[in-house]
Amino acid sequence: MQYTHLGRTGLSVSRLCLGTMNFGPVTSQEDSNLIMDHALDHGINFFDSANVYGWGDNRGWTERIVGEWFAQGGGRREKTVIATKLYGDMGDWPNDGKLSALNIRRACDASLKRLQTDYIDIYQMHHIDRRTPWDEIWEAMEVLRSQGKIIYVGSSNFAGWHIAQAQESARRRNFSGLSSEQSIYNLVERTVELEVLPAAQHYGLGVIPWSPLHGGLLGGILRKQAEGTTGRSNGGRAAEDLERLRPAIEAWEALCDDLGEQPGDVALAWLLHQPAVTAPIIGPRTLDQLDGGLKALDIALSAETLARIDEIFPGPGGTAPEAYAW
């Protein structure tokens, strides 16, 4: 396994992050335990979750599965850098969501209980809260950190200017602020290259891409359709974008054939070549899918190959403002 620091911090994390969103709704607790054990066996020490995973009436289900796995002992908790999130509503009552100081306190305590741990390594804001002042948010995070309940703070789905707001507010308080940003980032969705990645690099944040295969679209969907093995890739983001992007996907899969690699592995490898990226989130539903993702670490993409990929999926054209102005 390859490791890197999370942004400017001294925290060492694996170059792949195990996403747990499927645990519970899609993957049974028994299979989830096997996947987590297998991940540790291969050196993946970075796991990502959220309090709302499980969804609907089952919110919190995924954290409970991870917590019961931690409770088995054997160094599982000590070996794992666990990141989880708050923001989404965990109930129907006022203050059951968002980033008020009240909900930050309650949500953290609830996640700690479900995860069966006394601290969270990276506590992430799942979305920007436009109604809560930054001083209130940072004061609440400072209290959690002083209590030993969290170590680092991260964001998710923030715009570049939200990162700047957060960091400048934290600077005024002599607080370290954000250590990471978790954004949708893949070959199809490259908007973060305009301002989020430059902001993350400027402030020293590690970037954790989610949906690295764009819902399966970049994972060899055309080949799987021909074989009748598309599974969940037939729906969601992949199905919505396939027809619009079919020529690009055809060219993408042909390129991967030329390389002799699986499309999903090349898509992950491309992210690992991008500046500021710490670790893409892989969300395996099975052990085989986990093993497949690990192959990306061994794929080195030449400058020529990277240029060919840019021709297929050109992105926004670089960072702002040069991407759209002189």
Distance CA 127, CA 226 (A): 38
The Cα–Cα gap between 98 and 86 comes to: 7
- Residues 114/60, Cβ–Cβ less than 8 Å: yes
Distance CA 207, CA 201 (A): 9
**One-letter amino acid for residue 39 of the chain:** A
Strand 46-48 relative to strand 3-5, pairing:
unpaired
List the catalytic residue out of 53, 87, 123, 185.
53
53 is known as an active-site residue: yes
Cα–Cα distance between 273 and 255 in angstroms, integer?
Answer: 17
Helix, coil or strand: residue 72: coil
CB 141, CB 173: distance < 8 Å: no
**Which long-range contacts (C-beta less than 8 Å, at least 24 apart) are formed by 172-176?**
173/135, 173/138, 173/139, 173/142, 175/138, 175/141, 175/142
d(C-alpha 205, C-alpha 256), whole Å: 31
Chain length of the chain = 326
For residue 179 the two structure tokens come to: 């250590």
> Could you give the CA distance from residue 229 to residue 126 in angstroms, rounded to a whole number?
32
Report, as residue numbers or ranges, the catalytic residues. 53
